[in-house]
Structure 1
Amino acid sequence: MKRLAALLIVLCMLLSAAGATAGNEQVQGEIVIYSSMYQFVLDMLDEALREEFPNLKPGNNGSFFVYGGTSRLINQIYGEMEDGVLGCDMLLVAEPALSLELKDAEYLEPVEVRDAASLLRFPYDEEGYWYPVRVCNMVLAYNPELETRWAEKGVTVPKTFKDFASDRSLKGVIAMGDPLSSGTTFAAVASLTQSGHYGRQYLKGLAANEIQIISGADSIAKIRSGEIAAAMILEESVLKALKDAEDQGVPLTNLACIYPEDGVILIPSTVMTVSDAHSKNANAEACKAVEQWFLSEPAQKLILNGYMHSVFANMNQIPYGSVDTEELIAKDMGVNWENVYHSREEINLAWMDIVANRLN
């Protein structure tokens, strides 16, 4: 009986490691990951991590992830840095300037990703302190069914980010997220207001147009109902709504992306491992294996299933309903992440002074 019991234990161990890449079943301990990805994406990644790392323990009430908007997570991280230890072991947040900041503060552990130069089509830290793992795309959205009706009211649906803030026919009928809570919206504001683009005048235009500051889900609902003419929004939010409706057998014809003629804003979101001296579980070795997995083909396909673009140079697949990633790269307005790192507070204060306070 003892021998049979031992055999059963061995069999269970083998089954639990099934599907794991050779060596990853040896990865042990506990980790927590701060992430701003949508919960449905985190659920997919959580399940995949359990399969790939069967002996790694999720450190947040049964999940590997703690979800929060990037800007809110950054404020939380700043508070934790006062004590010298973060409440996580890894970070997957939307705004790459944080990577530069945490590297300078010596909070990160370098990770080697083999052939990173040929693997990735977006910048990464050559010392291995951070790598892009997913690409968010800020666009505009509108209701094709109502464009003519809006025109009859004297409202022109914007085809550029510039018109979104400068066309006064849009006063009161446009929306966007809050950069004080959303890292991708903050990145868009940083890009559109930076030198060489539209400057702080862009914020004045948003305020003059009495922009509504609401969530992506609320923007989509108001676009479809005709309450607003357009919204600045993540492409992934629109694509998910379209795919969900198609899967339910009721395809949407009253929602679509506008890829602005003056350029899109790509946000290559990074993955980072926190050094043992500053992390919750001091398990950098396990985190390195997880970080390398995020830059594997199975993980990148999950990113695509989450309606975001892959960072792989040889990835021809695109998110459902999107356009070619290389085409977007050619139209990318770009963000000066070094400037964002050093000017984060200034950008937030400008937003508060010029836009938020005038709308309240």
Structure 2
Amino acid sequence: MGKFVKAALVLSLLASAMTGSFTQTAAAAEEKQYVMLYSSLKDSQLAAIREGFMKKHPNVTMDYYTAGTGNVMTKLATEHQSGGIAADIIWVGDPTNYLTFKEQDLLMPYDSPAAADIPDKFKDADRLYMSARLIMLGFVYNTNLVKEDQIPKTWEDLLKPEFKDYLSMTDPTTSGTTLFTVAGLVQSPKYGWEYLEKLKANGLKLENGSSAVVNKAAAGEYKVSIGVDYIARTVMAQGATVGFAYPEADIPIIESPIAIIKNTKNPEAAKKLYDYIISVEGQSVLLEEFTMPINPDMKLENAIDVKVAEARMLPVDPAALVRDKLDMLQKFDAIFK
């Protein structure tokens, strides 16, 4: 074999080895992708999301931090003041927080292709965030302590003597969904602060955590709790002695948005998780966890139709809530604490 042919063969082998090396290096880099989600969803929901996401994207490691919206916001504020937010994606229950994020220029615009069929009303105009699920609140009642003809149908029913000292609600300083509900009641001329004062007079107690009010109603500590629909459905499916009723009017409906942090160190992995959550696959995981998906073509069994619920919705002025939040919480604490 001539020297030229030998040299060409060696170069060919080196090129092949280098190509293989580059391929392995690229694969290794892909395997090292990572994404962190901060959320107020239940641990079981996030664990199911992570399982489905990492099955679809085995080269991406997903981690999450879960707590009530108030605690998530405190963690974000602390990290922001310290020079860097560790989260890549935020997914909490109070949509007004995203107005604040937007004002603070904390979010990265992203128009997910997975959201092409989602109505624009669920998306920020600048595509800095979009709703990823719908949460509704209603009345969680103990089926052993509340007879069928006693099941509350209206907010005024909670003021009845038979429920005195056996009522509960999550503390709105820790729960974004309850905060939104309280804001709707306070802003409504039908209820206002007078209604909340009457709830206090009828013995309503506060709990720390949206699951606590449901679990304690199931245990018989409360006859009725103002609670989240999907949490009630979860324990009902497990055989707990609770039922759930939507108010005949003024249903609290909360859009729970997702957003990518502007200074994320993992933008590609963050986009993949964002896409997955909005996709039919991700929304199907929410359905299995008894959660209302944002996709209007996907229906949750035994849940109220979204259009019917919207016609009975408790209105909330988000801008007013952002403006008045601190004053509102201070007044709330003065009544209940």
TM value normalised by structure 2: 0.84
Contact 1:122 1:311 in 2 (8 A): no
Partner amino acid, structure 1, of 2:232 = V
Bigger shift: residues 166-175 or 296-305:
166-175
Partner of 1:298: 281
Residues 299 and 225 of structure 1, relative CA distance in 2, 3 Å threshold: closer
Residues 343 and 87 of structure 1, relative CA distance in 2, 3 Å threshold: farther
Q: In the aligned structure 1, how far is the partner of 2:91 from the partner of 2:245?
A: 27
Give the secondary structure class of the aligned counterpart of 2:107.
coil
* 1:194 maps onto 2:181 in alignment: no
- The correspondence for 2:201, drawn from 208, 211, 233, is 208
* 1:37 maps onto 2:41 in alignment: yes
Q: In the aligned structure 2, how far is the partner of 1:84 from the partner of 1:202?
A: 43
Give the secondary structure class of the aligned counterpart of 1:146.
coil
Residues 190 and 51 of structure 1, relative CA distance in 2, 3 Å threshold: same
Contact 1:157 1:229 in 2 (8 A): no
Partner of 2:325: 344
Partner of 2:171: 178
Partner amino acid, structure 2, of 1:205 = K
Give the secondary structure class of the aligned counterpart of 2:138.
strand
**Percent identity for Structure 1 against Structure 2:** 22
Instruction: Structure 2 unaligned segments of length 5 or more: list them.
Output: 1-16
When the two structures are aligned, how many residues end up with a matched partner?
314
Residues 227 and 291 of structure 1, relative CA distance in 2, 3 Å threshold: closer
Q: How does 1:1-360 map to 2 (within 5 A)?
A: 29-58=33-62, 64-114=63-113, 116=115, 118-120=117-119, 122-148=121-147, 157-164=151-158, 166-214=159-207, 215-224=209-218, 226-245=220-239, 254-276=241-263, 279=264, 282-315=265-298, 317-318=299-300, 320-355=301-336, 357=337
Bigger CA radius of gyration: 2
Partner amino acid, structure 1, of 2:118 = L
Instruction: Structure 1 unaligned segments of length 5 or more: list them.
Output: 1-5, 17-24, 59-63, 246-251
Q: In the aligned structure 1, how far is the partner of 2:191 from the partner of 2:31?
A: 48
Contact 1:27 1:289 in 2 (8 A): no
Per the TM alignment, residue 90 of structure 1 is displaced from its structure 2 partner at its CA by 0.8
Give the secondary structure class of the aligned counterpart of 1:290.
helix
Per the TM alignment, residue 309 of structure 1 is displaced from its structure 2 partner at its CA by 0.5
Per the TM alignment, residue 272 of structure 1 is displaced from its structure 2 partner at its CA by 0.5
Q: In the aligned structure 1, how far is the partner of 2:39 from the partner of 2:79?
A: 16
Per the TM alignment, residue 121 of structure 1 is displaced from its structure 2 partner at its CA by 7.3
Partner of 1:3: none
Q: In the aligned structure 2, how far is the partner of 1:79 from the partner of 1:313?
A: 36
Please list the CA deviations of residues 151-207 of structure 1 after superposition, one character each: whole Å capped at 9, or x if unmatched: 8xxxx543212332x435532111111111111111111111114452222321222
Partner amino acid, structure 1, of 2:324 = S
Residues 331 and 195 of structure 1, relative CA distance in 2, 3 Å threshold: closer
Per the TM alignment, residue 26 of structure 1 is displaced from its structure 2 partner at its CA by 5.7
Q: In the aligned structure 2, how far is the partner of 1:142 from the partner of 1:321?
A: 17
Residues 211 and 121 of structure 1, relative CA distance in 2, 3 Å threshold: farther
Per the TM alignment, residue 217 of structure 1 is displaced from its structure 2 partner at its CA by 4.6
Computed over aligned residues only, the root mean square deviation of the Cα atoms, in angstroms, reads 2.8
Contact 1:136 1:236 in 2 (8 A): yes
Partner amino acid, structure 1, of 2:74 = N
Per the TM alignment, residue 292 of structure 1 is displaced from its structure 2 partner at its CA by 1.9
Q: In the aligned structure 2, how far is the partner of 1:184 from the partner of 1:75?
A: 16
Q: In the aligned structure 1, how far is the partner of 2:88 from the partner of 2:180?
A: 24
Per the TM alignment, residue 116 of structure 1 is displaced from its structure 2 partner at its CA by 4.8
Residues 121 and 334 of structure 1, relative CA distance in 2, 3 Å threshold: farther
Per the TM alignment, residue 331 of structure 1 is displaced from its structure 2 partner at its CA by 1.7
Per the TM alignment, residue 51 of structure 1 is displaced from its structure 2 partner at its CA by 1.5
Residues 158 and 126 of structure 1, relative CA distance in 2, 3 Å threshold: same
